Homo-oligomer: A and B are copies of this chain.
Amino acid sequence: MGKNLTTRSEDYSKWYNELVVKADLAENSAVRGCMVIKPYGYAIWEKMQAELDRMFKETGHENAYFPLFVPKSLFEAEEKNAEGFAKECAVVTHYRLQNDPDNPGKLRVDPAAKLEEELVVRPTSEAIIWNTYKGWIQSYRDLPLLINQWANVVRWEMRTRLFLRTAEFLWQEGHTAHATKAEALEEAQLMNRVYAEFAENFLAMPVIQGTKTESERFAGADETYCIEALMQDGKALQAGTSHFLGQNFAKAFDVKFTNNQGKQDFVWATSWGVSTRLMGALIMTHSDDNGLVLPPNLAPHQVVIVPIYKGQEQLEAISQVANEIVKDLRMRGISVKYDNRDTHKPGWKFNEYELKGVPLRIGIGPKDLEKRTVELARRDTLTKEFVAKDEVVDRVALLLQEIQEALYTKAKNFRDSHITTVNTFDEFKEVLENKTGFISAHWDGTSETEDKIKELTKATIRCIPMDAEQEEGTCVYSGKPSPQRVLFAKAY
């Protein structure tokens, strides 16, 4: 196809890296582990943001903004949270640069401008937010507090990959405060369901909802809910998490409220987030060896129109038809780009939009003008059809729906065919060597067994599924009793 894209079967990881760059989604920057999100990639992220933001507001949340920096004394207040993030955080120690006397034209840190207290660039904002909530919450009348923040965060990861794991990433983090444990638990579960709904309806990505084991929980949480997806290489990807934080942060920051019986109690908390990692999940769920495949609900352009012409006269005649279609599609709320650039040939454009995953391409040539037809090409199936010009808008509207559903169904069939139930550790290892995907197996509930399995196979427990039936069994590794199956997989 002339895209010089490594194929998935050749080298899945290389295919992904190349695709992200070639489809103009993102690239590495001069800062170790930090990416530049390019306009085309950012346009997809904006569509995700808009939809999530709408869903958060519909469930009663408001946006706010808290500082980028967390003073060290606040950072260390919730011990487990601090322990979890201290090893990989960016620390601001100085507030000025000065001319370097040893290197003319160069700057150096001014030793006289050392901060009294170091500032951690937020890896997550529980600490700074709960320190703020202390001033906002006195009585049960101040609860619940349902707040979300769109922000950048920094985790100094050693091994990074565009979108999937970057030192700086963009995300949203919800932070809510409640009067009762039950209400906080309900909120954490609700937001996990919101994430699942978003993933399935917009990313066309089937997910499994579940809870994390203790060792995979968010640092500082009593329970972590998650949505887990399966990529085409059979590896799992954690696409979003929602945490029930108990009273841990309220205790660390002394946030109490007076309940409606006049008694004081610590406030109950949740936090939940999804990030630009979803971009990686989106890419890996649907794309193929020809490039990106985008679900219509998130595609910056749902349709592109390419004129096929020789000479100005033909272009003008085609443009007249194209502009009518553009107008009609926009009236139907369909986003469309008419690419009439004369700097590139139609073949180049076809290739380009295939690489960029535009769901539908309309080609119009001189013969189409005669016949009053257009050529309609689907990106996901690479199939083409001729459609009467007067029917094109209806056909496009229908196809966009069809594509959205087809992508979900295809991904779900793949995912479902890659969940293997095993009863012995030999079967377990065999799946990892051949078919990969999720493994449904009994586990004795201990961190020791979990660690041992990870050490031996690199597979981790992705989640304890929410809707799994209780089934007595014996642990696939230790042979000890187990009350239900959990899902293992190698993961991103």
Q: Considering the complex, give the chain B residue whose CB is closest to the CB of A61.
A: B39
Q: How far is the CA of A38 from the CA of B65 in the complex (A)?
A: 7
Decide yes or no: A63 and B36 within 8 Å by CB, A90-B119, A93-B109, A94-B91 being known contacts: no
**A-B contact list, 13 entries, CB within 8 Å:** A31-B67, A31-B71, A34-B69, A36-B64, A36-B66, A38-B64, A69-B90, A79-B105, A86-B96, A86-B107, A90-B94, A90-B95, A92-B92
Partner of A128, one of B31, B71, B91, B131: B31
Asked whether A30 is an interface residue with its Cβ less than 8 Å from the other chain, the reply is yes
Query: Which residues of B are found within 8 Å of A121, using beta-carbon distances?
Result: 68, 92, 121
Which 6 interchain pairs have the tightest Cβ spacing? Answer: A39-B62, A34-B67, A37-B65, A86-B97, A95-B156, A91-B94
Q: Are A107 and B68 in contact (CB under 8 A)?
A: no
Q: Considering the complex, give the chain B residue whose CB is closest to the CB of A39.
A: B62
Asked whether A72 is an interface residue with its Cβ less than 8 Å from the other chain, the reply is yes
Decide yes or no: A97 and B119 within 8 Å by CB, A29-B132, A35-B67, A91-B109 being known contacts: no
Q: Are B105 and A67 in contact (CB under 8 A)?
A: no
Asked whether A89 is an interface residue with its Cβ less than 8 Å from the other chain, the reply is yes
List the interface of chain A (C-beta within 8 A of B): 27, 29-31, 34-39, 42-43, 45-46, 62-72, 74-76, 79, 82, 86-98, 105-107, 109, 118-121, 128, 131-132, 135, 141, 147, 151-152, 154, 156, 168, 170, 343
Query: Which residues of B are found within 8 Å of A66, using beta-carbon distances?
Result: 29, 36
Q: Are A96 and B168 in contact (CB under 8 A)?
A: no
Q: Are A97 and B90 in contact (CB under 8 A)?
A: no
Q: Are A94 and B97 in contact (CB under 8 A)?
A: no
List 13 additional contacts besides A76-B106, A90-B95; criterion CB under 8 Å: A27-B135, A31-B71, A31-B119, A37-B65, A42-B62, A45-B65, A68-B154, A76-B97, A79-B105, A86-B96, A91-B93, A96-B156, A152-B152
